[in-house]
Chain A
Amino acid sequence: MAIRERLSGNEAVANAMRQINPDVVAAFPITPSTEIPQYFSQFVANGKVDTVFVPVESEHSAMSACIGSQASGARTMTATSSCGLALMYEMLYVAASCRLPIIMSAVNRALSGPININNDHSDSMGARDSGWIQLYAETNQEAYDNFIQAVRIGEHADVRLPVMACQDGFITSHAVENIELIEDEKVKAFVGQYKPENYMLNPERPMAVGPYDTVNYYMEHKRQQAQGMINAKQVIMDVAAEFKAMTGREYGMIETYRLDDAEAAIVCIGSSAGTAKVTVDKLRAEGKKVGLLKIRVFRPFPTEEISKALTHVKAVAVMDKAEGFSAQGGPLGADVRAALYNDPFKAKIVNYIYGLGGRDVTVTSLEQVYNEMLEIAETGIVGETYRYLSVRE
């Protein structure tokens, strides 16, 4: 029987971490992810886990410690946000290229300039090309479920890549919601033991990790690394199927909501998807054909799934909680456009920048987006394809 609970997103992830009982956690505190290592270090102090907790002096050191630890053969985790993730930047690439399945809870917060502690996706979107798998959660439940699945996805022999399990700072991380926890022993059985084929503390086979790579080898390594990301999609689906068998909760690369006969759709990531569902219900009750496509997995990017799901839609609003400063939109907008480019029934696309630095995303604001899309669907006139939502003019 699942355990009915009410927890904040950070409590949920800290509990997932406790149930997984990793060998090592190395982390440095930063709002809004601080509570995760804080709660977890209490589990360590109280003997609830066998984990070695490594308090470090910076996030660069946190990720460096994670790399050394995972390479030595230890299942290793961390948590961070915003500028902390930025300070890890160099080491993110090292973790991915060394093919080390470190699991990170990334609690999304605006990446400075001007400084701000609230939610948007500019931190993890900046790391989208670092070679980490990225999962995004709409709710505390998804933050918890994704974190547990991340272990199996990253460690799979066909993948061997680090995973960022993201959730929206404050909106889910600090909000108490209903959640169903899985029993400890079931989580333990689901994640199993970390069994890398090779690891540095194996006396039977001495090894070197992270060597300098010359021109004649570098590209072969990158091509192989790319294959890990390509393979990840099947593994994500397989792990989701196993997870569903255990919990009844269904996960995919994307989630659609009342999209089948929709003429206008929103594509978004994270907690806004819940607000969009409420908006869809409201507009459907008024007879408007609107739907939602939520991105759960951003890396690897669900190109085929998006193309298939949006084939019949006339107008699509792609919502970016991060500026791309390309002067034409954000990162999700660019990738969704690319996904639909070869689709013969190409939908009209508008890319909205929204929710930056904690700007609240409401049913009213998303209703405006749907109405603008319905107008495009009806008239065929797209107008400006790069728009800001809820900004004072």
Chain B
Amino acid sequence: MSFTKFEDINENISWHDITPGGEVYEGGTSRYFKTGEWRSMIPTFIAEKCKQCLLCVPVCPDSAIPVKDQKRLDFDFDHCKGCGVCYKVCPFGAIEFGVEEK
């Protein structure tokens, strides 16, 4: 009932067990929502050209550019929607952008 865990709320849950008013009892649950499935265009990270200026990180609307030890890593494709904002903002041509082949 009231303490239903986020992972137990899915499309099989009955009306008896669903949380009242759709309440969610955890923070940061948007990471469970894989928006990467929405993508039709895809950015590609060219590590050799990257100067680690990190301009791309704050502009990403989906926090899909992970940073570790002050350096960006490859894209989090579970959440990247392929909007292309990072590609536009990169001053060094370190991000390419094109149609995703599925």
Contacts and interface: CB of A to CB of B under 8 A. Distances in A.
Within 8 Å by CB, do A and B touch in the complex? yes
A207 B25 contact: yes
A209 B19 CA distance: 10
23 contacts: A97-B21, A99-B20, A100-B21, A197-B2, A197-B3, A198-B23, A205-B25, A207-B23, A208-B23, A208-B24, A209-B21, A210-B22, A217-B11, A220-B14, A220-B15, A220-B18, A221-B18, A221-B21, A221-B22, A223-B15, A224-B16, A225-B21, A227-B15
B11 to A, nearest CB: 5
Contacts of B24: 207-208, 211
A225 B18 CA distance: 11
A160 B14 CA distance: 19
Contact of A224 (B11, B20, B25, B29): B20
**Most-contacted residue by chain A among B23, B24, B25 (CB, 10 A):** B23
Contacts of B14: 220
Given A207-B24, A208-B24, A224 B18 contact: yes
Nearest to A212: B22
Interface in A187-202: 197-198
Contacts of A227: 15
Interface of B: 2-3, 11, 13-16, 18, 20-27, 29
Given A198-B2, A224-B16, A216 B23 contact: no
Interface of A: 97-100, 160, 197-198, 205-211, 213, 216-217, 219-221, 223-225, 227
The 10 closest A-B pairs by CB, nearest first: A223-B15, A220-B15, A206-B27, A98-B21, A208-B24, A99-B20, A197-B2, A99-B21, A220-B18, A211-B22
Given A197-B3, A207-B24, A220-B14, 5 more contacts: A206-B25, A210-B22, A220-B13, A221-B18, A224-B20
* Interface of B: prevailing SS: loop
A306 to B, nearest CB: 28
Contacts of B13: 220
A98 B19 CA distance: 10
Contact of B21 (A197, A205, A210, A216): A210
A317 to B, nearest CB: 39
B22 A217 contact: yes
Nearest to B27: A206
A99 B19 CA distance: 10
B25 A217 contact: no
Contact of B26 (A206, A209, A221, A223): A206
A91 to B, nearest CB: 14
A216 B15 CA distance: 11
B4 to A, nearest CB: 11
